[in-house]
Structure formats: structure tokens, C-alpha cells
Amino acid sequence: MAECTKNTGKVNFLIDGFPRNQNNWEGWVGVVGKEAEMPIMLFFECPMEVQEQRILKRAKYSGRSDDNLESLKKRFDTYKEETMPIIKLFTDAGKCVQVDTSQER
């Protein structure tokens, strides 16, 4: 990121899926420091029922071994335990933009 900023002058970056948990966030703060402005989080909200429908539909074509309800439920449980506290941290700081992804294209 520093190299890109140096070469292009661009200072905004989209980092997919980060931070996922408290350890990720602490690592970020450890690198950029507490004096840096807290980044903005894009939170793509989607109800479990919609996720289930989409995973089952994707499973018909994807060939992925983890495209099943059991794997989805495990990922969702991990998400609730590890990621939701980070989303709350960003929300409480006014740095979370929530996007409803349950709608059809």
C-alpha cells in the first residue's frame, strides 16, 4: 500500500474481508498506529435464509465441497463469534456503512 501510494498518489484501498476478528484489528492498529484515522468498513448484511438459498443454488454448479448447509452454518457461527464484535466496534465509532445484500440483482 505504501508503494502504491508513493507511485500513484492514491490513498484509499479496499481490503476484502479485513479485519475479520480482534486479532486482525489489533495487527492493523499495531502497524498503522492508534493516531491514524480509523478506516471505514463496508458491511454487507444478508440474512441466513437468503444465504442458504444462494449457497444451495451455487452448489449446483460450483463443484465446491463447502457449498452445503453444514459448512455454511459453521462459517456463520464463526462469523457471529469473531466478526460481529468487530462490526460493532466500527458501528459504535460511526465507521461502518451497512449494505443490504438480500435483494435480487
In this prediction, residue 90 carries a pLDDT of: 94
Residue (of 72, 42, 39, 43) closest to 55 by Cα position: 72
Residue (of 52, 59, 47, 44) closest to 73 by Cα position: 52
In this prediction, residue 2 carries a pLDDT of: 83
pLDDT in tens, 22-80: 999 999 899 888 777 888 999 999 998 998 999 899 999 998 888 888 888 898 899 89
Give the span between the Cα atoms of 75 and 78, in whole angstroms: 5
Handedness of CA 77, 83, 85, 88 (dihedral sign): negative
Q: Is the pLDDT of residue 8 over 90?
A: yes
Using an 8 Å Cβ cutoff, are 24 and 39 in contact?
Answer: no
**Grid coordinates standing for 23?**
486479532
Kindly report whether the global pTM for this prediction surpasses the value 0.75: yes
Phi, psi dihedral angles at 96 (to 5 degrees)? -120, 125
Rg of the chain in Å (alpha carbons): 17
Q: Is the pLDDT of residue 105 over 90?
A: no
